[in-house]
Structure 1
Amino acid sequence: MVFKVYFQESITQVPVREKTKTVYVEGESVRDVRNKLADHGYNIEFVQAVENDYLEYEQQNEDYKVLEI
Structure 2
Amino acid sequence: MIFKVYFQDNFTQVPVRENTKSIYIEGESEQDVRLKLKDHQYNIEFVTPVTGAFLEYEQQNEDFSVEKI
Number of corresponding residues? 69
- TM superposition score normalised by structure 2: 0.97
Q: Counterparts of 1:24-39 in structure 2 under 5 Å?
A: 24-39=24-39
Identity of aligned residues (%): 67
| In structure 2, C-alpha distance between the alignment counterparts of 1:22 and 1:34, rounded to whole Å | 14
Aligned alpha-carbon RMSD (Å) = 0.5
| Contiguous gaps of at least 5 residues in structure 2 | none
Q: Who is 1:19 aligned against?
A: 19
SS at match of 1:58: helix
- TM superposition score normalised by structure 1: 0.97
After TM superposition, give the deviation of residue 62 of structure 1 in Å: 1.1
| In structure 2, C-alpha distance between the alignment counterparts of 1:16 and 1:45, rounded to whole Å | 10
Q: Counterparts of 1:32-47 in structure 2 under 5 Å?
A: 32-47=32-47
State yes or no: 1:6 paired with 2:6: yes
| Contiguous gaps of at least 5 residues in structure 1 | none
| In structure 2, C-alpha distance between the alignment counterparts of 1:11 and 1:66, rounded to whole Å | 22
